[in-house]
Chain A
């Protein structure tokens, strides 16, 4: 019993913790996915009586028809679960934990017990979040951004704004703590534990990405945690950080004085914008590695790739105002935030060019991992370019909080990151579990998902062009929205199909874990150290020495000496 607990549950081994994060997040991802399917059913068929809804939420869907408050609760939970418990945890906590140490030739993370603590703190945070579904009033309806006064005023502002909202804030604060533990660990490990010869500019781009992501996490989550505590004080201790004078909510006057709702937005987006990069930077590292491997070429512009990631991380902290162009903030500052925001497009574009450069002249092998990486590049371009529209206050004045934004951030933050996760799963599964994932199932999964995500999110852009506001529980109350129902129906049906295909991925994981063909030691003929099943004494070259002229084989592992 003791060995079982210490080996599988309270393990301090980075590989076990990585898998724990991975399993928790896959679980969370499927919960978030299921919520989105339920939302899309309701949006497309707002009046349909659905027995399942009534069974699941007797109060929220009386007679099987979803109430607006239930829809908004699902929306809040979908966003929170996906942003925090999938996009933040898998790339860094999951793959980062497993592979960062062994890619730099370390035997474990620098602080193994802190590592265990950070996983279990994350787990606790997830339980607290889910508990919000089961308390009186249900989950909060203020969205994953939780803007006060809606989130600060308590149950008078709406159902779910009582205990549900409190649990949400507590959960996020705990999550912040876990992320702080984790990021300290990643930073220390990267700086202190590298094997001899592993200079910074010999590190795989994945390690660079995790390292930079950890730096972002450290600064971003600290601020979110502070903000969360202030919000909690406003709710529970009668302070007025975010509550102004003269509030009259639901015919009740509030005694608060002197706060400002905009303060929350500044604090939240100071975290919230870097959060996008927390989600997507590890994906950039993974995709760079996989593109190089299956093109059998060095990464094109390794150093520019590193500098681009550092630039994105740095700029990411000074662009938060582009979420607030129409918030009532000083309009002059919008102009400054706009220039900074579009500047971020430069390193992002450089990365795209370098990915194309990596492929150019290669010998491209379309494994499932490669397909998802190429898919990543495609959706990254699509989702990134619309940012050039939203980054301008003059155009955002129309597009802000429309479905155009929903389409944009799902493409760039959601789909791109998730594609990178799929790519990483197919690439590293043999290292993690000793067996290969099924490539045929993988291909079917990829192709349907690729068409599916475009089918889901491109129509949303057009709904946004027509001015369709987001976070509407249904589209029946406005004349101009009637014309757009066909877009939403199409989008929903693509979502149902795409969601169903994800079960194929789950089946592939479970089947291959038990029955998949046994993996060879270095099945992809890769260069990086995780494929060497021991800790090397030293490394002698950079991370992407593929097809080196004069070598007999087309890859040179980092520990191999040049001839």
Chain B
């Protein structure tokens, strides 16, 4: 009977952890995060009820039908019960899948024009970000020009006039409230771009250029973590997302321009 008690204890402690939210997602900084949190809340509420229901039912059955010398009933199934439970579970689970779909299409399938494009280059074990500058065009790059020591991680080719106003930086600065499109790429192994406050994560894969769009509404500094095992420095592959008021961002970009 200890088991029924133990099942009760772990169930209640787990539920208490969910309800008190001592360890939880950080506050979001955009509309997507708000939508994410409310959908997650609904899903967790439904799963929580299922969790409590199933665990308590298990504990209850163990208690209720413990061996007291009675004879067990001979009951080997009920097609009605099976059909009924299949129907309920199907509606619940497929509902979950469909309900969350809009959130996903909102991230990956919007066709709004982006206000700003930023190239992201991930490598063992650093992040680099490139801005096109006032001309809105990225200059030519060459693999053999890539060099951290000379401050040119992207390998920007200075002989290309378009490249003259390109800016590269180790932190990701963006203007608040504008639609940003990152173009993610990695030069060596797979990395993953993860900002908790944006509720966004996307792998950066060598040989691919993967778009990721977001609007960061709230100015501030947020940590960027690598979320795909990339080698011995994976745990220290950190950068920051700095969300600036648009005017400050423009000023920063202007003064960072390559001479």
Contacts and interface: CB of A to CB of B under 8 A. Distances in A.
A474 B235 contact: yes
B23 A477 contact: no
B23 A371 contact: no
A374 B1 CA distance: 12
Nearest to B43: A389
Contact of A247 (B6, B7, B187): B187
Interface string A473-517: 111011110011001000000000000000000000000000000
Interface string B234-259: 11101000000000000000000000
B144 A360 contact: no
Interface string A340-383: 01110110011011101101111111100001001101100110
B23 A363 contact: no
A286 interface: no
Given A150-B229, A346-B89, A397 B107 contact: yes
B164 interface: no
B6 A245 contact: no
Interface stretch (A7-15, A267-275, A325-333, A427-435): A325-333
Contact of A360 (B7, B61, B101, B225): B61
Contacts of B196: 398, 466-467, 480
Interface stretch (B129-137, B174-182, B202-210): B202-210
A247 B188 contact: yes
Most buried by B among A244, A248, A475, A484: A248
A295 B72 contact: yes
A233 interface: no
Given A69-B232, A300-B77, A385 B51 contact: yes
Contacts of B74: 297-298, 546-549
Given A297-B74, A393-B104, A472-B235, A261 B190 contact: yes
Nearest to B107: A397
Interface stretch (A86-94, A139-147, A416-424): A139-147
Contacts of B189: 147, 149-150, 153, 157, 249
A142 B230 CA distance: 8
Interface in A83-130: none
A465 interface: yes
Interface residues of B, number: 100
A361 B223 contact: no
A181 interface: no
Nearest to A363: B72
A523 interface: no
B167 to A, nearest CB: 21
Given A302-B77, A388-B96, A395-B43, A366 B72 contact: no
A385 B225 contact: no
B216 interface: no
B237 to A, nearest CB: 8
B100 A395 contact: yes
A91 B109 CA distance: 44
B57 interface: yes
Given A295-B72, A398-B25, A554-B71, A350 B89 contact: yes
B62 A374 contact: yes
Contacts of A365: 67
A466 to B, nearest CB: 5
Interface string B140-160: 000110100000000000000
Given A159-B232, A260-B207, A469 B43 contact: no
Contacts, number: 342
A258 B78 CA distance: 56
B202 to A, nearest CB: 6
B192 to A, nearest CB: 7
B90 interface: yes
Interface in B51-94: 51, 54-55, 57-58, 61-62, 65-78, 81-82, 85-86, 89-90, 93-94
A158 B62 CA distance: 52
Interface string A400-438: 111000000000000000000000000000000000000
Contact of B6 (A353, A447, A473, A547): A447
A250 interface: yes
Contacts of B31: none
A343 B94 contact: yes
Given A149-B188, A247-B187, A261-B205, A381 B39 contact: no
B103 interface: yes
Nearest to B146: A248
A401 B192 CA distance: 9
A212 interface: no
B19 interface: no
Interface string A242-262: 001111111001000001111
Contacts of B68: 363
A394 B101 CA distance: 7
A182 interface: no
B203 A326 contact: yes
Contacts of B43: 388-389, 392, 395
Interface stretch (A30-38, A213-221, A450-458, A528-536): A450-458
A465 B25 contact: yes
B13 A339 contact: no
A339 B94 contact: yes
Given A335-B104, A342-B97, A385-B47, 5 more contacts: A158-B124, A300-B76, A302-B77, A331-B107, A378-B7
- CB-CB nearest 10 A-B residue pairs: A244-B207, A394-B103, A472-B235, A331-B108, A298-B76, A467-B196, A394-B100, A301-B77, A361-B73, A462-B23
13 contacts: A142-B229, A246-B187, A300-B76, A301-B77, A302-B77, A326-B201, A339-B94, A363-B72, A394-B36, A398-B40, A400-B192, A466-B25, A469-B226
